Amino acid sequence: MKRRFGQPNAERLIFVILMMLGAIGIFFGWKFFWFLTDDAYIAFRYVSNSLLGYGYVWNPPPFQPVEGYTSFLWVVLLDLVWRTTGQEPPQSANFISLIFSYATLVLTAVMVMKIRWRNPLKKWRIAFVVLLLVYLLLNRTFLAWTSSGLETAMFNCFLILWVFALFFVRSPALRVGSASLVSAALALTRPDGLLFCAVMLVIAFIEFFGAPDRRGARKLLSYGLLPLFIVVAHQVWRLSFYGEWLPNTYYAKVIGAWPKSGVLYALSFTLEYGLWFAAGIICWAFVRIMPRMKIWAGLFSARGGRVQVLKEPLVAYRVQFLAIAVILGHLGYYTFVVGGDHFEYRVYNQLIPLSFLAVLWSLSKLKPRPVVALSLMLGFVLLSMPVQWTHWVLTKDLNTREETHIMIAPISPTWPAPFRPYAELFDRAQSWLIQHHVGMRHQEHKIFWQTQVRDYPSRVDGMRIPRAGFPVYAVYCVGVPSWTLPNVNIIDMFGLNDYIIARGPTPEGRSRMMAHSRRPPDGYAESYRPNVTIIAGDPRVAERHPELTADGIARVETSWRERLKNIEQMGSGGAK
């Protein structure tokens, strides 16, 4: 008797047992790589200010609101958990990330089972699930982002769920409706999720024109479009509250296209996890099947001298082709425009389960003998191990800030001579990236977070500083202090949470640094008259004469925004 996924009872039982083992494995991996990033505390501060009654602001009024977080849905979730359970974000965030990470593992395993296998490969799909568990649970990047305090695990889970909806949900209405809802969740989780919403508009209309009758067409269109109004509502709220279409962090981080950094970031990721092997199998499969794929055939027809959209059922792979295209477009944006990411492969993390699925899909189309398919998948898994775990062995015992600051750990000296050129290429990419603050490794962020926690007072002690008098602390790395000093107004000197610094000109003569290139204009931080210092973990507040007032802060904000407008106008005039 057949059951869910089309497998017999014994296979289903083995699958459930494997998922239970996966839960145990991911828990231990999560615990082993557990850390919080300093940046995670930025979102925690916004949640804190919400509970204090100020809303999602960096500094409460009279400071103007700034959107220094990029993860609205993550902030809302942490806020909700704190209000309902009493668990503060530093305690709850990583448990939530663990849940999303496990959901990603299960969803990926379900997709392995639901691939349209050709006999005799179908008999071996449980073996492929075993290989998936080995691949994910021994992947440092996947395990690192099961924690961190950031929204990464949630975003990746939603993206995998979006792929599942478009590739494996059979009902057109349920497929387009669920995928549209998940794309809305992606957009609320990170602004780059808007790209998935845009493609859902196209998919909704493809399904609409392909529906067999008007009633079904209207149903498909409404299912596809209605969830996207959630995103529209959020954008309207963002514009009305913050006065901008995009988060402040976009302006602080993206100075201009940085393809050199992105290419090296992608090269490092590819070498570390042997993804060139996966790319070879995928390309081989596409070369074999492309002659049989007429992706756009049947979409358009010339009738009466004009092109018309055909109202006939559309082949499912056209929607899937768009899904693949938007995933590649998302990858291309981070690679060639943004230049990668400050964190270790954070924006590529979703590619880890997706690459495994892509290789399996390719093998299902190539239809090799089972022993060949299993050997290729095993080879893919094994090739992902040497670089990542060599690097881990070399860095795992570096536990001080001095040892891990700009942590470059060459692996090539430890490799056998025949394989050393491969490791040297990886080392060169890593050296350039880390010197430019791109792809900073997990161990460095972990130790930096521990250092920050040690160097600042506890939140309980920081709460003792009264809000009266508008205490101000100007600092570059704002995460931990922004949480432990909740009543202190923080000037973010890198500009992630500061309107003026994020949009001001970058200093000349400095090497570009990922998310660390901005600096405050001369006299800007001083205009707020910072009076908080931290000495041996003890916060000191100096008296001001005369006092800083709400009207004074408002005048400073208005004055600097006017200056920024003048600079921008002069720049645009010069460009003309």
Q: How many domains does the chain have?
A: 2
Same structural domain for residues 152 and 266?
yes
Number of Cα atoms under 13 Å in the Cβ half of residue 400: 2
The reply to whether 392 falls in a domain is no
Same structural domain for residues 461 and 376?
no
Amino acid at 292: R
Distance (Å, whole) CA 366 – CA 194: 34
Task: Out of 369, 384, 399, pick the residue that ends a domain.
Answer: 384
Residue with tokens 């993550």: 74
Helix 194-210 to helix 214-225 angle (10° resolution) is 180
Specify the pLDDT at position 118.
76
The reply to whether 278 falls in a domain is yes
Q: Are 340 and 430 in contact (CB under 8 A)?
A: no
Same structural domain for residues 101 and 191?
yes
Q: Are 90 and 483 in contact (CB under 8 A)?
A: yes
Same structural domain for residues 84 and 220?
yes
- Residue 463 structure tokens: 């709460």
The reply to whether 148 falls in a domain is yes
Task: Out of 341, 357, 384, pick the residue that ends a domain.
Answer: 384
The reply to whether 359 falls in a domain is yes
Q: Are 329 and 347 in contact (CB under 8 A)?
A: no
Same structural domain for residues 372 and 282?
yes
The reply to whether 259 falls in a domain is yes
Report the 10 Å Cβ neighbour count for 163.
23
Give the DSSP H or E segment for 93.
Answer: helix 89-114
Which has the closest alpha carbon to 422: 448, 386, 450, 395?
386
Same structural domain for residues 182 and 286?
yes
Give the DSSP H or E segment for 474.
Answer: strand 472-475
Same structural domain for residues 468 and 365?
no
Q: Which domain holds residue 170?
A: 4-32+67-291+312-384
Q: What does the DSSP 8-state code read for residue 114?
A: H
Report the 10 Å Cβ neighbour count for 149.
26
Residue with tokens 């958990």: 81
Same structural domain for residues 245 and 377?
yes
Task: Out of 384, 408, 423, pick the residue that ends a domain.
Answer: 384
Same structural domain for residues 340 and 467?
no
Using DSSP, how many helices (H) and how many strands (E) does the chain show?
Answer: 25, 6
Q: Evaluate the CA torsion angle 276, 281, 284, 285 in order and state its sign.
A: negative
Same structural domain for residues 79 and 224?
yes
Specify the pLDDT at position 143.
98
pTM of structure: 0.91
10-residue averages of pLDDT along the chain (576 residues): 59 96 98 97 98 96 95 98 97 98 98 87 93 98 97 98 94 91 97 95 83 80 92 96 93 91 98 97 86 50 42 56 93 96 96 97 91 96 98 96 96 97 98 97 97 96 94 95 97 94 84 89 93 92 93 94 80 45
Amino acid at 359: V
Same structural domain for residues 343 and 483?
no
Could you tell me how far CA 438 lies from the centroid of its own chain? 15
Q: Exposure string (b/e) for 169-207, b if CB count within 10 Å is 16 or more?
A: eeebbebbbbbbbbbbbbbbbbbbbbbbbebbeebbbbb
Same structural domain for residues 464 and 375?
no
Sequential DSSP letters for 145-164 = TTSBSSSHHHHHHHHHHHHH
- Residue 160 structure tokens: 């995998």
Report the 10 Å Cβ neighbour count for 381.
19
Specify the pLDDT at position 291.
62
Q: Are 129 and 21 in contact (CB under 8 A)?
A: no
What distances in angstroms separate CA 366 from CA 60, 112, 118, one per listed residue?
Answer: 59, 16, 10
The reply to whether 54 falls in a domain is no
